[in-house]
Structure 1
C-alpha cells in the first residue's frame, strides 16, 4: 500500500472540512487509539495535548517540550493513513515558522493553536498578538507548500466568570484570526450553551469547532447550531476511563 504524501493528506483534510455536515475528528493520544478510530470509520483525526500528556505521564499546559511532543506524535501519525491534526497548545515558545516546520516533518497536516500561554504564566495573548501568531503560521505553511489546516482557538469564554460578558470580544478575536488566515476557529468552553454557540457560528465565515463528549452530547444538536467541526479534547479519553473502570470494577478485590 502506498501511503499518501503530507501534501495529499493536507489537501484531503481541507476537502473534508468543505463538506456540509460537521466534521468529527476523534481526539486520540497514541497509536492504539488512532488505529481504533480509523477502524471505526473516521477519515481524519486530531491529537489532543491533554490526553497525549496524560498517556505519557506528563502535565498538560505545555508540560512537555515541543521536541517531546513531536517525538510522541510522529509514530501516531505514521501508524494511520488518514490526515492528522495536532494540538500544539500556544506554540511551546516556538516561532511560527519553526512550529510549522516541526509539524510537517512528522507528517502532521493541521494544528490547533490557543491564546493561553501557559509557558508564560498562563497569560492570554491580546487579539492582535494572537492574530499575528496565526498569520505567521499561515505564511510558514504557504512557504512550505503544505496547506496546513490552522484551527485558531480562544480561551476567553473559559476564563470569564460569565461567558456571555465576553461574547463581543470573543467574536472580534475570532474574526481577527480568520482575517489572519485561520481555516477554522475554536471558542473553548461554550459547548453546552446553545445561544453562545449560535452567536459565534453566525458571526464568522469559517467552520466553528466545538468540544463534544462522545456519550453525553448529540451530533444533530451541533449540526442545528451551525457547528461544522467537532473534536473531543480530553473527553474521549475520560469516557474510555469511565468505561474501563466499569469493566474492571467486578474484578477488583
Structure 2
C-alpha cells in the first residue's frame, strides 16, 4: 500500500526507496536513505530557518562546542564486565553533507562489527535509558546533585576519575532537564529536488574505529574547566 505514502507527506525519495526495499530487501540502502531523508527534511525546516540560525547555530555557545569538539554521540557497551564507549564526534553540524556522512559512519560503526553490535545491544536491553550520563558511568555521574550549594567550585575530575572524595558530577534525567514543548505542525512540502543525493546510498569501505573514550574524557575535563572559568568570571 505504498501508493498511500504521498497522502502522509512522505517524500518521493522515500516512496521509491520503500518500493525498492519491498523487492530487494536491502536493509543498508533503506537505513542510509532514512538518514538522508531525515537530515534533508531538517535542513529546510530547521537548519536554514532564520530563527533557528539566530537562536542556536550562530550563538557563541554553539560555535564553541563545534570548535572545541564538545559534541559527541556515544554508544555504551559492556565488555568483560567493564563499561566501554564507542561513538564519534560531531563536526560542522550546520552542514547537511557532514550530518549525512556522520550518520553513515555511525551506522557502519553499529552494524559492521557483529560482536560490537551485540555488546551495544546487550547494554541497551539491560539498562533503562533516562538521558542521564549516570546510565553508563554511575561512578562519575549522578542524577541527584551531590555538590554543595554556594560559590565555591573546585576541579573534581581528572583522567575520567573523580579526584579524592569529590562528589559525582550532576547529570539529571532528561525529563528533569527539559520541559515538554508543544510544537507547531511541520510545514508541508517535499525536500527532494536533486537526484544527486542517491550517491550517498553507495556503501563506503571506510574503516571506522569508534574508540571515543579518551576523547570523551578530555571533553569532560574541558567542559568542567569551562564551567569553572565562567563561574569565576561572573561571581
TM-score, structure 1 length as denominator?
0.23
Q: Greater Rg, structure 1 or structure 2?
A: 2
Higher relative contact order (CA 8 A, sep 6+): 2
